[in-house]
Amino acid sequence: MNIAVLGAGAWGTALAISLAARHRVTLWTRNAEHLAELTSLRVNQRYLPGHSLPDSIHPTTVLSEALEGVELVFVVVPVAGLRATLQQIAGLNQSLPLVLACKGFEVDSANLPCQVVEEVYPDTPCGVLSGPSFAQEVAMGLPTALTLASRDDVFARHMANEIRSQNLRVYSGNDVIGVEVGGALKNVIAIAAGISDGIGFGNNARAALITRGLAEITRLGMALGGCRETFTGLTGIGDLILTCTGNLSRNRQVGMMLAGGRQLAEILPEIGHVTEGVYTVREAYGLGQALQIDMPVTQAVYSILYEKISVRNAIRDMLDREPGVETS
């Protein structure tokens, strides 16, 4: 297949490297300096150093060139840039099949990526790709399992088969909402897990955070139309465990730095990549309030990031809550 990957961050580059084993890939970046680096070094030194681009990957900054003759488009831009990117695609071609590989809620609208597609680029096959995966490990070819979900079962199965490789196992599904909610909210819980680890609360506390975090992800996901079973799979508990425990998790790093007394304004430039959980928590908190869903972990992270409550006070407020009955 001819495939375009739009977005040359760490994840977009890792996907392009994986796809290039079977397909011809165009990798689109907005930045001319970044393109020069990709073209001359054949390495994404800025976002994924140490991993060479195969010869079958063609970098470009020209969107029309990236989309010319392609059979599938992976959209791997941050959620903040998704709507504008889709509008550009729509201006060039109205019928390209899409796979979304971005996680989060759109700021202000609280739309999931699939809902943005429905508004801007409707009436085309669309799927979402998610699951427990660090870009570096995918680029290295280490074993990884993901889910590709689409409301079109035939599209989901076909594309899952097309993008799989020896070490990239891709399952198909149809719960688009559940997959996207799990992928978005796990980043929020990972910030909380990083805070817990940074303070030194230990493994017991982290396990409790992951478990109770999964409960509130499930509550919100089901209220938005997701299926309970999805949250016990790869894009639910699988992605949550990885992001809350792995040292490569940027959201967990944010939490650990916050626990160390650092301010968000200095943390984000140091990390240098988009950290979706910082923005997702604002929309998730708003949705929880609007739908009257109990989301104490999300509320604590929101309070720390946007209400300037100290880490210690936010934790105290959580620990002072009545435990209640353990149900999802």
Q: What is the pLDDT of residue 31?
A: 94
Least confident interval from 156-165, 286-295, 297-306, 319-328? 319-328
The predicted pLDDT at position 156 comes to 98
Instruction: Report, as an integer, the average pLDDT of 14-35.
Output: 97
Judge whether 148 and 99 are in contact, CB under 8 Å: yes
Average pLDDT over residues 69-90: 96
Q: What is the pLDDT of residues 224-283, one digit of tens each?
A: 999 999 999 999 999 999 999 999 999 999 999 999 999 999 999 999 888 999 999 999
pLDDT in tens, 116-164: 999 999 989 999 999 999 999 999 999 999 999 999 999 999 999 999 9
Residue 94 has pLDDT above 90, yes or no: no
Which pLDDT tens digit goes with each residue over 161-219? 999 999 999 999 999 999 999 999 999 999 999 999 999 999 999 999 999 999 999 99
Tell me how far apart the alpha carbons of residues 282 and 41 are, in angstroms, rounded to a whole number. 38
Q: Answer whether residue 328 shows pLDDT above 60.
A: no
> How does pLDDT run across 222-241, given as a tens digit for each residue?
999 999 999 999 999 999 99
Distance CA 200, CA 245 (A): 14
Give the per-residue pLDDT at 126.
Answer: 97
**190: Cβ–Cβ under 8 A, 6 or more apart, which residues?**
240, 243, 244, 249, 251, 252, 255, 277
Q: Is 308 a catalytic residue?
A: no
**Burial call 37-54: b when 16+ CB within 10 Å, e when fewer:** bbeeeeebebbbeebebe
Q: What is the mean pLDDT of residues 10-25?
A: 97
Instruction: Check 58, 83, 186, 212 and give the catalytic one.
Output: 186
For residue 319, what pLDDT is reported? 73
Question: Which domains, and CATH codes, for the chain?
Answer: 2-174 (3.40.50.720), 180-319 (1.10.1040.10)
pTM above 0.85, yes or no: yes
